[in-house]
Structure 1
Amino acid sequence: MGYVGRKLRERRILFPDSQRGLIVPVDHGLTLGPIAGMQATEALESWVGSRDLSAVLGHKGLIERLIVRQCLHPATGVIVHLNGMASLSPDADTKIMVADIDTALKLGADAVSIQVNFTTSNFAHNFAMLGAVTDAAHAAGLPLLTMLYDKVKAPTSAERLARLHHLVRVVTELGSDAVKLAYASVDEIEELASVHGRDIRIFFAGGEKADEEVLVAMSQAAIRHGATGLCIGRNVFQHARPQALLRRLADSVKGRSEQVAELDVV
Structure 2
Amino acid sequence: MTASGGAVLLRPYGKALRLARLTARHKGRHLFVPLDHSLTTGSIAGGRPYAGLVQDLIVAGADAIIVHKGRIRSIEPGAFVGAGLVVHLSAGTMHYADPNSKVLVGSVEEAARWGADGVSVHVNVGSATEPAQLRDLGLVAGECDRLGMPLMAMMYARGESLAATASQPRTLAHLACIAADLGADVVKLPYPGSRAAMREVVEMSPLPVYVAGGDPLGGLERTVELARDILGAGAAGLSFGRCIFDAHDPMAVTSAVAAVAAGVSQDALA
TM-score normalised by length of structure 1:
0.87
> Any stretches of 5+ residues in structure 2 without a counterpart?
1-9
State the secondary structure of the residue aligned to 2:20: helix
Residue 235 in 1 paired to residue 248 in 2? no
Q: Counterpart amino acid of 1:95?
A: K
Alignment of 1:102-141 (within 5 A): 102-141=109-148
State the secondary structure of the residue aligned to 1:66: coil
How far apart in 2 are the matches of 1:134 and 1:19? 25
Which residue in the other structure is 2:59 paired with? 50
Which of 3, 10, 17 lines up with 2:12 in the alignment? 3
How far apart in 1 are the matches of 2:167 and 2:29? 30
Change (3 A) 1:212 1:115: same
Which residue in the other structure is 2:173 paired with? 165
How far apart in 1 are the matches of 2:243 and 2:166? 28
How far apart in 2 are the matches of 1:100 and 1:155? 32
How far apart in 2 are the matches of 1:155 and 1:44? 34
Alignment of 1:47-126 (within 5 A): 47-50=56-59, 52-67=61-76, 70=78, 72-126=79-133
How far apart in 2 are the matches of 1:119 and 1:50? 38
Q: What is the Cα deviation at residue 242 of structure 1?
A: 2.1
Which residue in the other structure is 1:34 paired with? 43
Which residue in the other structure is 1:264 paired with? none
Change (3 A) 1:260 1:111: same
RMSD: 2.6
Q: What is the Cα deviation at residue 186 of structure 1?
A: 1.3
How far apart in 1 are the matches of 2:126 and 2:166? 18
Q: What is the Cα deviation at residue 257 of structure 1?
A: 8.1
Whether contact under 8 Å (1:50, 1:73) holds in the other structure is: no
Q: Counterpart amino acid of 1:164?
A: L
Which has the larger displacement, 44-53 or 240-249? 44-53
Change (3 A) 1:17 1:85: closer
Change (3 A) 1:144 1:158: closer
Q: What is the Cα deviation at residue 222 of structure 1?
A: 1.0
Q: Counterpart amino acid of 1:223?
A: L
Which residue in the other structure is 2:4 paired with? none
Alignment of 1:147-186 (within 5 A): 147-153=154-160, 154=162, 156-157=164-165, 160-184=168-192, 185-186=194-195
How far apart in 2 are the matches of 1:35 and 1:159? 26
How far apart in 1 are the matches of 2:101 and 2:240? 22
Change (3 A) 1:43 1:139: same
Which of 7, 21, 32 lines up with 1:23 in the alignment? 32
Residue 191 in 1 paired to residue 200 in 2? yes
Q: What is the Cα deviation at residue 158 of structure 1?
A: 9.2
Change (3 A) 1:9 1:258: closer
> Any stretches of 5+ residues in structure 1 without a counterpart?
262-266
State the secondary structure of the residue aligned to 2:209: strand
Which of 135, 140, 152 lines up with 1:145 in the alignment? 152
State the secondary structure of the residue aligned to 1:74: helix
TM-score normalised by length of structure 2:
0.86
How far apart in 1 are the matches of 2:170 and 2:98? 26
Which residue in the other structure is 2:5 paired with? none
Which has the larger displacement, 141-150 or 27-36? 27-36
Change (3 A) 1:246 1:5: same
Q: What is the Cα deviation at residue 244 of structure 1?
A: 2.0
How far apart in 2 are the matches of 1:142 and 1:178? 12
Q: What is the Cα deviation at residue 247 of structure 1?
A: 1.6
